[in-house]
Structure 1
Amino acid sequence: MSVGNIYNYFPSKINLAKSAIRFASGILASSLQDINKKNIPAREKIELFVQDYLEIIQHSPEVIEFFLRVYLANRDLFEENEDGGFQLAEAFVKEVEELIQYGIRNYEFRKSQDFFVSFSVLTGILGAFTFLSGENVLDRDVSSYKKEISDAIYKGLS
């Protein structure tokens, strides 16, 4: 089903966009929340989350791809909101913040980091691989990039 057809099942474009954002970010938040509960180094938490994320885009790519396509195609719907729709992904944002704070408390990540830069280090790399995987341009299976992606995120935060 295309994004255009699914609009028919929602009262408005904004309702569809909000539902897509809440659904996808809820899946990611749940995964990261389980990982954040573990008493392991931040590096391992990143590796586990990257593994979960790559499994999602490999086995259920529509979850993340649909979120990105709906959100990006409808940015105008969020222009009036002060947070640009950020609050809809609040549970995921909170779990990313917890991961970053954990890494700082355990001296694995730099102490003086801007949250939004740190957030984009994590989500930017993962979003790029979502796109590359969806476009079928990767040289190998997306899951085989787990270590390289995890290392890049860890280095970006440490």
Structure 2
Amino acid sequence: MTERIELKSEDDTIALGYTLAHHCLNYLNQHDDTIIIYLEGELGAGKTTFSRGFLRALGHLGNVKSPTYTLVEPYEFETFSVYHFDLYRLADSEELEFMGIRDYLAKRCICLVEWPQKAGDVLPQPDIKIELLYKQLEREAIIHPLSEKGITIQRG
């Protein structure tokens, strides 16, 4: 069920975030659960741009910046939370334990995780992995649903 999507502009990346956010919201309206989404790609590939579109689709009106120095930025909504993690500067995966990563994952929430490979085996497996790749002057998103939950979300 891997899906490839051409992203010809920043607006396309934001639109992809909007679409997936609505699919996640549909899922959360029917399930009391946690959704884990890994965002992979080189610096500047569009991970934070995707996250901006995702959060705006859910109703967040403020800035969306990459939490590079704080590691996590929480966004509270009426019935759930979104935690945007950026693990680029993570020196040791044990730092996640010290910051209480399990507390974040134990709630009804969506976790957007940039640079998940830095976490070692501390994070659970994702429901969806999105690879954002450079493709000449454009970008490409490859969406991998990696659980039954991920497949359900991808279908909308």
- Greater fraction of residues in strand: 2
- Greater fraction of residues in helix: 1
Normalising to structure 1: TM-score of the pair? 0.31
Normalising to structure 2: TM-score of the pair? 0.32
